[in-house]
Amino acid sequence: MMDIMYFGYGYGKDDHAREYQSDFINEVKKFFPNVRLEDAYNEIKGYRQSVYLEDSEKDNYLAYLIGKGWIDFSLTLQIAMMDKDELDNIKGWFKLAKQQYPEAFKPEAFKPDALI
């Protein structure tokens, strides 16, 4: 399977694109030692990372992205979220993420007041 992770453009004092990319690379290698990564930086599209895994790892990888908070960065997940035919797959990935990363789904993991 192949995914592209988008981290941003790296412009402005509050942009953390390079930091996000570095954090993702370090973390994904821990969870998926056989991952193959390629820098996909582009002056127009910004900091991106191509991710290659065996097809057998797809469900675990997508659950990892959900459980570890990388969901908004993944092109594969963004496309799936727009496709109503993928609804059963999305539900399965969330169920798997809840099993593998339960700490991400505890009520105290999300604090709406912190967003205000």
Max mean pLDDT range (17-21, 44-48, 64-68, 102-106): 64-68
Domain assignment present for residue 115? The answer is no
What's the rounded Cα separation, in Å, for the pair 111 and 115? 7
| Of 6-10, 34-38, 51-55, 108-112, the least confident | 108-112
Residue 59 scores a pLDDT above 60: yes
What's the rounded Cα separation, in Å, for the pair 71 and 55? 19
Question: How many separate domains does the chain show?
Answer: 1
- Domain of residue 31, residue span: 2-107
Residue type present at position 42: N
What's the rounded Cα separation, in Å, for the pair 87 and 80? 8
Domain assignment present for residue 116? The answer is no
Domain assignment present for residue 113? The answer is no
62-110 confidence digits (pLDDT tens)? 999 999 999 999 999 999 999 999 999 999 999 999 999 999 887 765 5
> pTM here?
0.86
Q: Residue 8: beta bridge partners?
A: 47
